Chain A
Amino acid sequence: MVTVYHYVFLAAVLFIIGAYGMLSARNAVRVLMSIELMLNAANINLVAFSSYSGTVSGQALASFVIAVAAAEAGVGIAILLVLYRRMRSVNLREAVSMRW
């Protein structure tokens, strides 16, 4: 029997994998992908709760998240392009001119 706990567990695992990827990756593209993973982990939670509570508001919110995530990815990749043009690299460890 698949309960809501299984979904929540799956979402948690995905979120942690995403968080780890976001914090550890050097490549900015990988970081963006990890953020997508975290957003979708949240989406799984929303859809699961929505389905188990018998309402649709969670699913509606999930659709919003998908739309916003698409826009965010667009903006993020645009920033990455500008960064690449300036630095000839997308390594986040090198983009540190704003420190101290």
Chain B
Amino acid sequence: MVAEYSWLIPVFPLASFVLILLFGGRLREGGGHLAVAAVGASMLLSLAVISHVVRFGSYESRGISWFGSEAFRFGVLVDPLSAVMLFVVSFVGFLIVVYSLGYMHGDPGVQRYYAEISLFIASMLSLVIANNLVFMFISWELVGLCSYLLIGYWYRKPSAASAAKKAFLVTRVGDILFLAGILVVYREFGTLNLSEVFELAPGVATATLTLASLLLFGGAVGKSAQFPLHVWLPDAMEGPTTVSALIHAATMVKAGVYLVARMYPLFTPESLHVVAWIGGITAFIAASMAVVMTDLKRVIAYSTVSHLGFMTLALGVGGYAAGIFHLLNHSFFKALLFLSAGAVLHAVHSQDIRDMSGLWRRMPVTGTAFFIGAWSLSGLPPWSGFWSKDEIMAAVHSYSTPLFWLTAVTALLSAVYIWRLFFIVFTGRESEQAKHAHEAPLVMRIPLIILSLGALFSGFVVFAGFGEFVQGALEHAPEAAEHASGSVMLLSILLAATGTGLAALTYYRPVISAARVRRALAPVHTLLVNRYYLDHLYYFFATRVVADSARALRGVDEFIVDGTVNGTGRAAVCSGRKLRLLQSGVVQDYASWVLAGAFLLLVIAGLIGGGV
């Protein structure tokens, strides 16, 4: 039975991490081919395990226990949910590692790159198949570490180093909440095994479940860059574009959404309400910022945040299958967009879209790939983004009206920002930089083509019973969100078409002047360009509140704590220095002390006893 070997899935990339770390320097491309082989092996095994799950249902192993404790019994759980995630991570991961062979060619630190990316894929895969919350948390922290290392891959660049630190610190806030959630679960359930927790969940008080699920959701907010912890993801674009595509679009940032989906039985209606609103707000503010950014990768990054918000929103409103469906589709079209953006950066050597124009003629394959990605993302039929976005909107529609309109506006903005990007970069007159552009090498083009096919056709799995399959991961599945009703579907198409039209009229056939719109909406534009001043707020908080209170506490530490410790020592030394003067060496001095002591004893005896 192939599922019994599913524990091997993360072992291949882990082995390649160790080997590349030790011997990568002696291999060609810093061991890149080894990484490709290891991730490829993982992918093949994953596909075999997934087909097993599709045919025979979930598989769970007993696992091995750590420290001889039942709470730390780490095994493998592959159910429909992890199967989908396993597919995304191993398949997209494989394509991106292949693409790296072209993209990272000739970079001096390439050995480190392949080692870290192998470790990342290993820990991401073990996060997905973990059957124990602590096991999951360990992998969770490992992917966070790899994210930090890879964002700061070009560590000599100060902006990359500080972006890495920012990502690490901001996600840490979520990680602490996740850990607290695990503690609450352990205290209440007495076990950390996922299946056992799900079995016990219906018998636990609602308030406790709400607390536990909100704490776990806190972890998801950090990792999946949800409002208000979304600030790290756009800065994370300092890393190589392959890293942005793999970690910050297709896999790691999905870990938060995956966590919510994984722990779904613990979520009460109250906590789902919070999840839904956080998701909706995230989707909206990120989409609005994406409209004004001028950095190619940042626009896509904000779009990622926005779409992660969509997924969270879907889970929050009970559209479980819709959220996972969007997760699958998003991995394809967003990885595709990032990789084609990477090809553009490779050719133009700039990230600013104002330097790019009319690239279509020089880079037709990349342009087509970007076009397909944009089409899919904007939610125009018939490609993948349309189907999942539609299901999400249907689910939101039956949940709450204000949230639905927020989603509708976001959907409109999605179409605007992605087509704006496409028209600016690929159409129009050729810019100076574009004249030297050239198409990407073959090893980069093939992953683009495969991902394009994914972005086009992954949406059709919905007709092959995807929803029912994913719902199978839940014991008590929420009622399957009804398929999009006619009017919602029509509205969704209309919004996407309007957005596309607006972008085309502004940036393709300049009927609307972008500059005039910007002037008319100057305050809004300033607000958006400054990212709602959230980064300023955090900066203020970090420098004023945290640093100042730290300084005050340092005073307490130095004067009171250290003072007590040092004072004790100093008192001993001082009294010793004084007391040693008694040792004069003169015998008669000692004799007088003896005499004085005897006299004192006599006096005391006289005072208390009287009858000597």
Contact = CB atoms under 8 A, between A and B. Distances in A.
B592 interface: yes
Nearest to A98: B585
Contacts of A96: 584-586
Contact of B585 (A22, A23, A31, A99): A99
A92 B588 contact: yes
B595 A92 contact: no
Contacts of A92: 586-588
A19 B586 contact: no
B591 interface: yes
Nearest to A24: B588
Given A19-B595, A23-B595, A100 B588 contact: no
Interface string B575-611: 0000011011111100110010000000000000000
Nearest to B584: A99
Interface string A65-95: 0000000000000000000000000001101
A98 B588 CA distance: 13
Contact of B586 (A22, A25, A93): A93
A96 B583 CA distance: 10
Nearest to B587: A92
Interface string B238-281: 00000000000000000000000000000000000000000000
Contacts of B592: 23
Contacts of A22: 588, 591
A97 interface: yes
Nearest to B595: A19
Residue in B584, B588, B595 whose Cβ sees the most chain A Cβ within 10 Å: B588
A86 B583 CA distance: 22
B137 to A, nearest CB: 62
Contacts of A95: 585-587
B587 A99 contact: no
Given A23-B588, A31-B588, A92-B588, A99 B595 contact: no
Contacts of B581: 100
B591 A23 contact: yes
Contacts of B584: 96, 99-100
Contacts of A98: 583, 585
Contacts of A25: 588
Nearest to A28: B587
Interface in A16-66: 19, 22-25, 31
A100 B595 contact: no
A98 B581 CA distance: 12
A82 to B, nearest CB: 15
Contacts of B580: 100
A92 B587 CA distance: 7
A97 B585 contact: yes
A100 B585 contact: yes
Interface in B293-321: none
Residue in B581, B584, B587, B592 whose Cβ sees the most chain A Cβ within 10 Å: B587
Nearest to A31: B588
Nearest to B581: A100
A97 B586 CA distance: 9
Contacts of A19: 595
A100 B577 CA distance: 10
Contacts of B586: 92-93, 95-96, 99
A19 to B, nearest CB: 6
Residue in A19, A22, A25, A99 whose Cβ sees the most chain B Cβ within 10 Å: A99
Contacts of A31: 588
B585 to A, nearest CB: 3
Interface string B558-574: 00000000000000000
B596 to A, nearest CB: 10
A93 to B, nearest CB: 6
B33 to A, nearest CB: 77
A97 B584 CA distance: 9
9 contacts: A23-B588, A31-B588, A92-B586, A97-B585, A98-B583, A98-B585, A99-B583, A99-B584, A100-B585
Interface of B: 580-581, 583-588, 591-592, 595
The 6 closest A-B pairs by CB, nearest first: A99-B585, A96-B585, A98-B585, A100-B583, A100-B580, A99-B584
Given A24-B588, A92-B588, A97-B585, 6 more contacts: A22-B591, A31-B588, A92-B587, A95-B587, A98-B583, A99-B585
